[in-house]
Amino acid sequence: MKLKYLTLAVAVALGGCSLIPDYERPAAPVQADWPQGKAYPPAGAGEVGAAALGWQAFFRDPALQRLIGVALDNNRDLRQAALNVEAYRALHRIQRAELFPTVDAGAGGTRQRLPDDLSPSGEAGIQSQYDVSLGIAYELDLFGRLRSLERSALEQYLATAEAQRSVQIALVGDVATAYLTWRTDQAQLALTRSTLDSYTKSLRLIETSQEVGTASALDVRQARSLVQQARVQQALYTRQVAQDVNALQLLLGSAVPGDLPQDGGLDAALLAELPAGLPADLLQQRPDIRAAEHRLRAANADIGAARAAFFPSIRLTAAAGTASSELDGLFDGGSGIWSFVPRINVPIFTAGRLKANLDYAKVQKDINVAQYERSIQGAFREVADGLAARGTYGEQLQAQRDLVDNNREYYQLARQRYDEGVDNYLAVLDAQRELFAAQQQLHSDRLRQLSSEVALYKALGGGWSAAAAKRG
């Protein structure tokens, strides 16, 4: 009976055990539904997540699609992220190899001369020894230390793969935002040039009126002030357009193609309608949240490795081969050699090092729990901000368009009253200035609205699935 229990105990020990704590995913520290209120659009029913909407379908502008494709092929940050994945994959393979025996073969030979006082025979002479052997070394992972380290390395590798997806999502969104900024600044520059031309014509008209005595020097100064302000704006947007191109080139990893398709203007349908889904979808769609969970799992596995370090470790080393004093006698009968060296290491006194390692592993897990929860909270906030933007920008843009239309009518009426001699030219200049400011603000608001939609697409985990399929 005792032999039976001993055999069972040995079998269990050789099979190994795991000291990794049971993993439980922390509860999401956010509410189950998106915020509701006047700033938010009504919740949709049965919507799918944004991750199912590829970037080719979401970004409808052909030029933007072309730029995103170039960036996915050439961006250095994305290339570095892919190389990081390969590096962590190699580290996992290195750690996984520790689970298996190592086998090596060797051959060697020595020749030495011994003086008579050191020779066993009492006579000086030359001694020779040659050997060929095959060695095997293996650590019995009785308490799961190696398996815990392998699991930790695997989770770190998976976290890096998710980080690569995060980089790609960010790249798609950054290219879109940079492109929209470039388009907006181009529109602002065109508007400024047109307004400067109009201001210049008005200045010439007032200067002519001053010469005939129908306008004052104050009128001329005010008209000239508007011209100078427009020149300042022209220089500003000229610089910003050039800097926008530089920013795009950095994201693309190459020059902006010179044969981009023609755009349809900022008022065109540049983006598709974006489904919001549910907060729980973030756990499956956001690669940064999945990466944080993989790092949490890795920290959990590190606790198992730290626990296993308290227990004995057993390493088996064996070698077999042949040896002879003559090279041509290596494989003669009776020249075989072998050795078997089991070694057990039992930690007795480590001055608290093992306990400190375990405490450190537990603290690291707590840190990763906080990081995981912070990732979810940050994602929830980003989506909530995007939904608030979606719920309010439509009304804001319509109000700004109405303001532009009103100021355009105001300018036309002021010009008509001046032509009829009812009012002076200062009213015309004031109407021009207000129309220009309203048009500039409309461009800026449209950019913010488009950028908020892009940010919401990123926050919901969009920009990866279709891109991954495209790149194979």
Whether 4 is in a domain gets the answer: no
Whether 152 is in a domain gets the answer: no
30: nearest Cα among 449, 325, 344, 373? 373
- Model pLDDT, residue 9: 42
230, two tokens:
């427009």
Q: How many Cα neighbours within 13 Å face the side chain of 389?
A: 21
The whole model's pTM is what? 0.85
436: nearest Cα among 93, 197, 201, 140? 197
Core vs surface per residue 373-407: b (16+ CB within 10 A) or e: bebbeebbebbbbbbbbbbbbeeebeebeebbeeb
- Whether 254 and 395 map to the same domain: the answer is yes
Q: Where are the alpha helices (DSSP H) in 75-144?
A: 76-97
- Whether 54 and 113 map to the same domain: the answer is no
Whether 10 is in a domain gets the answer: no
27: left (phi over 0), alpha (psi -120 to 50) or beta: beta
How many structural domains are present in the chain? Answer: 2
- Model pLDDT, residue 277: 61
Distance CA 114, CA 120 (A): 9
239, two tokens:
């610089």
- Model pLDDT, residue 50: 64
Which residue range forms the structural domain that includes residue 325?
A: 100-140+312-346
- Beta partners for 105? 134
- Whether 234 and 364 map to the same domain: the answer is yes
Measured CA distances, 247 to 181, 200, 463 (Å): 10, 33, 20
- End of a domain among 320, 346, 372? 346
- Whether 46 and 71 map to the same domain: the answer is yes
- Whether 193 and 248 map to the same domain: the answer is yes
Whether 151 is in a domain gets the answer: no
Distance CA 384, CA 48 (A): 17
CATH number at residue 92: 1.20.1600.10
- Whether 288 and 202 map to the same domain: the answer is yes
- Whether 249 and 321 map to the same domain: the answer is no
The DSSP output letter for 271 is B
- Whether 355 and 342 map to the same domain: the answer is no
- Whether 363 and 462 map to the same domain: the answer is yes
Q: Give the CA radius of gyration of the chain.
A: 38
Distance CA 464, CA 163 (A): 12
- End of a domain among 295, 325, 346? 346
Q: Which amino acid is at 466?
A: A
- Whether 241 and 368 map to the same domain: the answer is yes
Distance CA 102, CA 96 (A): 12
- Whether 381 and 425 map to the same domain: the answer is yes
- Model pLDDT, residue 426: 83
Q: What is the Cα 30 distance to its own chain's centre? A: 22
Whether 287 is in a domain gets the answer: yes
212, two tokens:
């005939």
- Whether 335 and 464 map to the same domain: the answer is no
Please give the average pLDDT of every successive group of 10 residues along the chain, which has 472 residues: 41 63 91 85 56 83 94 94 95 95 91 78 79 92 94 96 94 96 96 94 87 81 92 97 96 92 79 72 82 97 95 93 81 84 92 95 96 94 91 94 96 89 84 94 96 92 60 39
CATH number at residue 323: 2.20.200.10
Query: What is the arrangement of strands in the sheet containing 125-140, beginning at the earlier edge strand?
Result: 102-114, 125-140, 313-324, 336-345
Whether 3 is in a domain gets the answer: no
Q: If residue 105 lies in a helix (H) or strand (E), which one and from where to where? A: strand 102-114
